[in-house]
Amino acid sequence: MPAGTLVHLGEQMSDEIHISVIDYGIETVTEGEPATVSDIPDQRADGTAVRWIHIAGLHDVAKIAEVGERFGIPALVLEDVLNTSCRPKIEEFVGGIFVLLRSLTDDPENQHVDLQQVAFVLLEDNVLLSFSEVPAAAFSPVRRRVRTGGGGRIRKAGGDYLLWALFDVVVDHYLRVTDAMDEALSNVDDRLQDRPEMVSAADISRLKSEVTALYRHIRPCREIASILNRADSPLIEATTEPYLRDLNDHAIQVVEAAEDLRETAASLRDFYHTAMSNRMNEVMKVLTCFSTIFLPLTFLAGIYGMNFEHMPELKWQGSYAVLWIVFVLTALGMFWLFRKKRWL
Amino acid sequence: MPAGTLVHLGEQMSDEIHISVIDYGIETVTEGEPATVSDIPDQRADGTAVRWIHIAGLHDVAKIAEVGERFGIPALVLEDVLNTSCRPKIEEFVGGIFVLLRSLTDDPENQHVDLQQVAFVLLEDNVLLSFSEVPAAAFSPVRRRVRTGGGGRIRKAGGDYLLWALFDVVVDHYLRVTDAMDEALSNVDDRLQDRPEMVSAADISRLKSEVTALYRHIRPCREIASILNRADSPLIEATTEPYLRDLNDHAIQVVEAAEDLRETAASLRDFYHTAMSNRMNEVMKVLTCFSTIFLPLTFLAGIYGMNFEHMPELKWQGSYAVLWIVFVLTALGMFWLFRKKRWL
Amino acid sequence: MPAGTLVHLGEQMSDEIHISVIDYGIETVTEGEPATVSDIPDQRADGTAVRWIHIAGLHDVAKIAEVGERFGIPALVLEDVLNTSCRPKIEEFVGGIFVLLRSLTDDPENQHVDLQQVAFVLLEDNVLLSFSEVPAAAFSPVRRRVRTGGGGRIRKAGGDYLLWALFDVVVDHYLRVTDAMDEALSNVDDRLQDRPEMVSAADISRLKSEVTALYRHIRPCREIASILNRADSPLIEATTEPYLRDLNDHAIQVVEAAEDLRETAASLRDFYHTAMSNRMNEVMKVLTCFSTIFLPLTFLAGIYGMNFEHMPELKWQGSYAVLWIVFVLTALGMFWLFRKKRWL
Amino acid sequence: MPAGTLVHLGEQMSDEIHISVIDYGIETVTEGEPATVSDIPDQRADGTAVRWIHIAGLHDVAKIAEVGERFGIPALVLEDVLNTSCRPKIEEFVGGIFVLLRSLTDDPENQHVDLQQVAFVLLEDNVLLSFSEVPAAAFSPVRRRVRTGGGGRIRKAGGDYLLWALFDVVVDHYLRVTDAMDEALSNVDDRLQDRPEMVSAADISRLKSEVTALYRHIRPCREIASILNRADSPLIEATTEPYLRDLNDHAIQVVEAAEDLRETAASLRDFYHTAMSNRMNEVMKVLTCFSTIFLPLTFLAGIYGMNFEHMPELKWQGSYAVLWIVFVLTALGMFWLFRKKRWL
Amino acid sequence: MPAGTLVHLGEQMSDEIHISVIDYGIETVTEGEPATVSDIPDQRADGTAVRWIHIAGLHDVAKIAEVGERFGIPALVLEDVLNTSCRPKIEEFVGGIFVLLRSLTDDPENQHVDLQQVAFVLLEDNVLLSFSEVPAAAFSPVRRRVRTGGGGRIRKAGGDYLLWALFDVVVDHYLRVTDAMDEALSNVDDRLQDRPEMVSAADISRLKSEVTALYRHIRPCREIASILNRADSPLIEATTEPYLRDLNDHAIQVVEAAEDLRETAASLRDFYHTAMSNRMNEVMKVLTCFSTIFLPLTFLAGIYGMNFEHMPELKWQGSYAVLWIVFVLTALGMFWLFRKKRWL
């Protein structure tokens, strides 16, 4: 089974936070990994238009608070970033947009799905802060596009486009996870058709819970993408709007995929029940056929086991042979009947 | 079973793209099949008002990109045209309307339903581009109407009417597919009533999955037709509006038909379960009747098989005959009782 | 069972169309049955304010087209009138209102429900055209009210009131059909309670399909009545508005009745399953009781059928009598136990 | 079971109508019971501000029509008052508000719920007409408040407050009926837990139908209260608005209670099925245990009942005793196994 | 099981009411516990900006009425405060906001959840009255924050912030209760997987009812929080709005958690049924195997127990041994077959 259990990454606590700063523009990209919040340079590198600060590790409250203070992020927003059981949301505040998401990354090697909270804060002047519980592999393609895509769209666009790119990559990973889960479900479906006795009720129940959990994590992204699409914020430029509309479609598609998964899991359970009750039917038929064949035969044998003094058949020469013929004919007749009725 | 499995046509890759250009007006129709995108003539043929360019084959990204550039189609729209797993959608962009649909064509010969993505881009000046993964047989009736319908509506109307005609033909084919599926379901229903043992749980489950898949492909057309109907675009003339309203009704009808199919499939499954449990009941009754008839008889036979020295009955002349009468009467009595209780 | 299967009346093709023209006013009623469309007089009879033209028979496309041309009905509307599988709808066009409905008439004699498409086109100047597939018995009460109701409301009012009266009579017949079906369902329910073995799964399944079909035909009338109620058309006078509001309530009531029917059919099916599984329980209990009573007795009899040389009981005088007492007591004890446990 | 079946009161026809007129103001209350409609005095008693006319009995169409004419109630409204199968509704007409409700009164003595249609017509100048099929006991508390509440709110307020008081008392009775039904359901639930064999499927099915019927009668009051609350009628004074808001909350609460009842009835049915299938399990286990214990024992006894000449065991002195020991040990071993597996 | 039954606290009547008054500002906190309503000082303590009056005990109608009169709370609001079966609600009145909630407090020691009604009335001039049926432990953290949080937000903010803090603490406790219930459900789930025979249908049914009850109490808070969030009241300052938005998210999260609980309980019931039917299958298989093995063996033994004079096998020397071999081989063959078919 390729799809595995959800593993909450942030639970392996580490007090370290990793900061990476990328300043980029059409021509230039400058990267840095300041050790502390105060080491983040005040000025953007020359010739760069966008600053992307990524902070991995949400356990050290004090440091995150320092980030908040440095960049003027409201306290309530910071609390949501730190509270890893917070519901995904989007919020506009004065001078910024805050997006909180669950990132799901399929990890086929370890047979599980990595779950972590990620947050994006888009500030004025094309500064984007992103937060994750542990370093987020999902963001590397975006980083690569920034580094290598010399004349590409991302280098020409502003922070709002970067927000879109990061959000889109999160939604993309949802699609990979739902695809993997879909494959897992259809594997179990095939096994149910071929060898129903190899599938246990607990397997089905576990898959159903996982699909439900997936759905709960994915569901809010539709609403968030829709709010972002309709947002009338000065931080979002008109050129980015078609991308947000596309993201919205993307989010609708992935939530529909998750809904389809739930339906598939439900019909898998139905099919399991049908398979079980078919097996039961089979068992019952065998029982019935055996009883129905042997009960009358045993009765007949019982009759000639009686000790009455006056039982003429007992003395006849051929009785025993005749009785065997009766036994065999009765059994064959029943067998033929059951075949006709498709019980055997 | 007339309705078969969905077969995704576009999967048989071919790098060739077929371009066909039809320029038509009230009096004239000019057709051409330019080999490359650059061979498409710049000017419409004299006396024609509408240009319809159909491009079959979405695998050669470079050529499609060339089309996009030539006709000024935005990059995001082109990406959706090329991405054959994209959700059906409608989008207005500056100077155009973009409609993306799944085309379903019932292919009774090969016992399957052909599935491919089709896209329509209506541009200014009555130019309509249509895209399909393979040459789309569904569009031939429209082509025929353009060619032959000398004084007909289509030759008088503009590109928006052509868009309507193509969309309508796609919805029409949906209706044929749902009709075929409906027939398949009612065939299985008949078989279930007559010979339930000939229908397997896997048949039912397969039909249900197919109906669900159909529904997922058809469902978005309702929303798209509704948006097109309400669209306030300069590309759509007032005379075309009643047709779009009609298309909207048509789309609602076909989505309702697909919803009805789902309901039918669900009650088919229920009926299958009932049939199964009725068979189980029948089996149980036979088992019970046989056991109930033969257990007491066997017990009686067992009694006179005992070896007690003092069993007066054993010595009586008529015991054996009397016992046979008891056996027969008991069996007949039970049989009568079961008949009365409708167990046999 | 009073409610029967839906029979589509229009399927018995006949190329004849029947035209009847009624011109009426407060004082005068003039009726005529012109043989062809061109025989319809141009002028309304003197002193009449409303003209009602009823056309029965939708198979002769040419004649219906002639009607359309004569009265200036748009082509799209005519197509919907002729297409008997078209979804019920309401449409306003310039100078008219078009209403398409399914008429259901309970026919208790032939044990079925007659189904046909009816269409109403209200034109300017108080002209109302009504179409039906075969002559519609449902409209006779309206015709009678027009003829006889000398000083009545209908003779004083305009074409919009006539439209209301015809629509209302259609909804009225829905209510009769749902009532008949409700009675049929409660008959089956009674039979299920008294003699569950007389009801087959196919009966239940057939009733459920019929209720679903009824619902699908009735459902659209709610939406249509609501649109008509809210319509802001110059063809509808203020004095007719309270009647349309009433019609709207009426339509809501009948659709709710149809929804209730579906619920009733669903719980009938549940009850059928319960009854079946109760019978199964009963069968199982009988089987268990018989087995549980006779298995130990047969075992005991078997013991004394053994041929060991040293079985002291076999020689004792009273053994046989004692064993019989044991048999009877065991059986009675078991019987008492099963009674106590309510298994018998 | 305290909650009983719904009994439609109006079905006991009586052509008598009872008219009672109460004129009241802050200081004065004047009551009268005019025999006929024309006996109702034209003028309100001196010093009174509100007139409440209650008419019990809706069978004499002529007399109700007379009431309508006298007070200027539109014909359509009167028809709804008289049609006792009409859906509950609210309607504003020129100079009045019309409210039609179902009154449900719990009658614990006769073990049933009385059902009748009641209607309120609030007219200008603080005149309120109320109609019921039979004299409505539910309204006595309001009458008492009017008579005795010298300085109370009702005597100071107008007809709109009286309308509120009567509506509120109807909703109050709904709550009593749903409470009684809730108790009936929880009684059956308790019985199901303690003595499931005492509850029949028909009981459960009957309760479910009654809950559904209750729900259908109660459901419309939510919509009606909400429309009344939002009504912008000159007949409703600002001081009454908080009461109408309260009534709206009250109606939401009672409809939610009825919805909860439906859910409770549904889970009662589920629990019944579970209890049934548990009993089935129990029966099956007993059957299996008996068969599994006695089948091998009977087989053993059968072996030593065979008549082979060469069966050494038959001649050994202790065989019989040893076999008894085997019988007992086998039986005990099986019994211990079944206990361990929790089958007995 | 940590989560227990809901216990309605207010049912232990006590006629005593406890009043506590806290006046606080940035610098000062003054607390008092006046014995009667009239002992509440008219003036707020010097230097304080907010007055919080908490009243525990809703049984003494007269005293609560005194409170209402003293603070000008409308009669209808007071009635809702006193009616402990009133639906949770929010209402704005002239000069105040009224919020009515159910407080749920998890009491792990006594294994139950305490339920009581709480009400908040925010008045002008930063006066907040809170009511509870018994002293509400849930509010102590807020009291502590007021007392100790010298420079904290609560001491700087007004009565609207206090209202938020109290509402938020109620919602917080909902989350704790749903978490405890979630744990209880997953405990039962684990037990069902490991030892299904230890879980009874009544346990499942009880859990399901409790989850439903929880949901009904929690559900209204979403609507109330949303109305409060959108409220455009002069009593709510702009600085409190982000907190109310946060509360709204919080309420949505808790209601979703309660909905998830319902789903979990439903799938627990499904899983219980599956486990039951699996056990049934197991029982049936054992029965079938035993019958199928022993029926033919017993028949064979019966044959050689017959008393025919001419049965050659009876005289052969090795018959008995051969028959035993047949017995053993038959039994082993069957056993092997059942193993292969996974019946044993």
Pick the residue from chain B with its C-alpha nearest to A253.
B87
Residues of A (252-281) whose Cβ lies below 8 Å from B: 252-253, 256, 260, 263, 267, 270-271, 274-275, 277-278, 280-281
Residue among B98, B53, B55 nearest B224 (CA) = B98
By Cβ distance, the residue of C260, C295, C308 closest to D291 is C295
Touching check for D151 and chain C: CB below 8 Å? no
Would you place residue D1 in the very low, low, confident or very high pLDDT band (cuts 50, 70, 90)?
Answer: very low
Distance CA D152, CA A17 (A): 71
CA distance A198 to chain B (A): 17
Cβ contacts of B325 on chain A, cutoff 8 Å = none
By Cβ distance, the residue of E212, E283, E298 closest to D284 is E283
Residues of C (88-117) whose Cβ lies below 8 Å from B: 89, 91, 93
Q: What three-state secondary structure class fits D28?
A: coil
pLDDT of residue D2: 41
pLDDT of residue C2: 41
Q: Do D267 and E205 touch (CB under 8 A)?
A: yes
Touching check for E314 and chain A: CB below 8 Å? no
Residues of A (283-312) whose Cβ lies below 8 Å from E: 283-284, 286-287, 290-291, 294-295, 297-298, 301-302, 304-307, 311
Distance CA B43, CA B37 (A): 14
Cβ contacts of A86 on chain E, cutoff 8 Å = 253
**Beta strands per DSSP E along C237-298:** none
A320-329's contacts with Cβ under 8 Å and 24+ in sequence apart are: A320/E306, A320/E308, A320/E310, A320/E311, A323/E306, A323/E308, A326/A300, A327/A297, A327/A300
pLDDT of residue C258: 94
Query: Which DSSP category does A43 fall into?
Result: S
Q: Is the dihedral of CA A46, A48, A51, A52 positive or negative?
A: negative
Would you place residue D4 in the very low, low, confident or very high pLDDT band (cuts 50, 70, 90)?
Answer: low
CA distance C215 to chain B (A): 11
CA distance E205 to chain A (A): 19
For residue D113, what are the β-bridge partners?
Answer: D6, D106
pLDDT of residue E2: 41
Residues B232/B275, Cβ–Cβ less than 8 Å = no
Number of A to E CB contacts under 8 A, please give it. Answer: 103
Q: Do E278 and A201 touch (CB under 8 A)?
A: yes
Residue among B231, B234, B255, B235 nearest B245 (CA) = B231
**Does residue D335 have a pLDDT over 70?**
yes
Residues E50/E128, Cβ–Cβ less than 8 Å = yes
Cβ-based neighbour number of residue D139 at 10 Å: 21
Distance CA B121, CA B162 (A): 11
Pick the residue from chain C with its C-alpha nearest to B312.
C320
Would you place residue A110 in the very low, low, confident or very high pLDDT band (cuts 50, 70, 90)?
Answer: confident
**Does residue A2 have a pLDDT over 50?**
no
pLDDT of residue E42: 86
Q: Do D87 and C256 touch (CB under 8 A)?
A: yes
Q: For the residues of C229-249, what is the DSSP string, one character each?
A: HH---TTS-GGGHHHHHHHHH
A167-171, E148-152, E174-178: lowest mean pLDDT where?
E148-152
Q: What angle do CA A326, A328, A329 make, to 5 degrees?
A: 65
Distance CA B175, CA B113 (A): 12
C-alpha distances (whole Å) from B253 to each of A21, A325, B175, B178, B276 are 55, 67, 9, 11, 34
**Does residue E305 have a pLDDT over 50?**
yes
B217-221, B256-260, C241-245, E82-86: lowest mean pLDDT where?
E82-86
C-alpha distances (whole Å) from B275 to each of A193, C269, C340, D144, E124 are 20, 13, 34, 62, 70
Cβ contacts of A281 on chain B, cutoff 8 Å = 276, 279-280, 283
Q: Do B311 and C294 touch (CB under 8 A)?
A: no
pLDDT of residue E300: 92
Written as six digits, the tokens of B134 are: 């393979």
Query: Which DSSP category does C132 fall into?
Result: E
Residues A216/A137, Cβ–Cβ less than 8 Å = no
Residues of E (13-52) whose Cβ lies below 8 Å from D: none
Residues E126/E96, Cβ–Cβ less than 8 Å = no
Cβ contacts of A292 on chain B, cutoff 8 Å = 286-287, 290
Cβ contacts of A212 on chain E, cutoff 8 Å = 263
pLDDT of residue D13: 62
Residues A63/A17, Cβ–Cβ less than 8 Å = yes
Name residues of chain B where pLDDT drops below 50: 1-2
**Does residue C227 have a pLDDT over 70?**
yes
C-alpha distances (whole Å) from E157 to each of A228, E23, E131, E154 are 32, 13, 21, 5
Pick the residue from chain B with its C-alpha nearest to C280.
B281
Written as six digits, the tokens of E159 are: 């009565």
Cβ-based neighbour number of residue A241 at 10 Å: 14
Q: What three-state secondary structure class fits C94?
A: coil
Q: Do B296 and C290 touch (CB under 8 A)?
A: yes
A326-330, D339-343, E73-77, E321-325: lowest mean pLDDT where?
D339-343
pLDDT of residue C31: 92
Distance CA C151, CA C149 (A): 6
CA distance A327 to chain B (A): 16
Cβ contacts of E212 on chain D, cutoff 8 Å = 263, 267
Touching check for C193 and chain D: CB below 8 Å? yes
C-alpha distances (whole Å) from D271 to each of A310, D180, D181, D200, D202 are 60, 21, 18, 13, 14
Which of E175, E308, E314, E342 has the highest number of chain A CBs within 10 A, making it the mutation to test binding with A?
E308
Distance CA C127, CA C95 (A): 11
Cβ contacts of C305 on chain B, cutoff 8 Å = 302, 305-307
Written as six digits, the tokens of E264 are: 């979990």
Written as six digits, the tokens of C73 are: 């009905």
Q: Do B271 and C212 touch (CB under 8 A)?
A: no
Cβ-based neighbour number of residue A82 at 10 Å: 18
Distance CA B224, CA B90 (A): 6
Q: Do A285 and B286 touch (CB under 8 A)?
A: no
pLDDT of residue B4: 60
Q: Do C299 and D302 touch (CB under 8 A)?
A: no
**Does residue A13 have a pLDDT over 70?**
no
Cβ contacts of E276 on chain D, cutoff 8 Å = 274, 277-278, 281
pLDDT digits (tens, 9 = 90+) for E53-67: 999 988 888 888 899
**Does residue A139 have a pLDDT over 50?**
yes
pLDDT of residue D33: 93
Which of A303, A315, A337 has the highest number of chain B CBs within 10 A, making it the mutation to test binding with B?
A303
- List, in order, residues 6 or more apart from A171 with CB less than 8 Å away: A221, A225, A247, A250, A251, A254
CA distance A131 to chain E (A): 20
Distance CA B122, CA B129 (A): 6
**Does residue E194 have a pLDDT over 90?**
no
C-alpha distances (whole Å) from E233 to each of E161, E221, E228, E229 are 13, 19, 9, 10
Pick the residue from chain D with its C-alpha nearest to C192.
D202
Compute and round to an integer the Cα radius of gyration of chain A.
34
C-alpha distances (whole Å) from C70 to each of A167, A202, B86, B276, C159 are 61, 72, 49, 60, 18
pLDDT of residue B13: 63
Q: Mean pLDDT across the stretch D3-26?
A: 77
Which residue has tokens 């006889």? C148
Written as six digits, the tokens of D30 are: 């004047």
A123-132, D319-328, E102-111: lowest mean pLDDT where?
E102-111
Residue among A142, A134, A98, A89 nearest A116 (CA) = A134
**Does residue D3 have a pLDDT over 70?**
no
Pick the residue from chain D with its C-alpha nearest to C302.
D301
Would you place residue C339 in the very low, low, confident or very high pLDDT band (cuts 50, 70, 90)?
Answer: confident
Distance CA E122, CA E128 (A): 4
% of chain E at pLDDT higher than 90: 43
Pick the residue from chain B with its C-alpha nearest to C74.
B242
% of chain A at pLDDT higher than 90: 42
Name all chains with 3 or more CB-CB pairs below 8 Å to chain A.
B, E
Q: Do A299 and B294 touch (CB under 8 A)?
A: yes
By Cβ distance, the residue of C216, C277, C290 closest to B260 is C216
Q: Is the dihedral of CA C270, C275, C278, C284 positive or negative?
A: negative
| Amino acid identity at E243 | Y
Compute and round to an integer the Cα radius of gyration of chain B.
34
Would you place residue A102 in the very low, low, confident or very high pLDDT band (cuts 50, 70, 90)?
Answer: very high
pLDDT digits (tens, 9 = 90+) for E232-250: 899 999 989 989 998 999 9
C-alpha distances (whole Å) from B294 to each of A102, A329, A332, D300, E134 are 67, 18, 19, 20, 71
Could you write out the three-class secondary structure of D186-246?
HHHHHHHHHCHHHCCHHHHHHHHHHHHHHHHHHCHHHHHHHHHHHCCCCCCCHHHHHHHHH
pLDDT of residue A122: 96
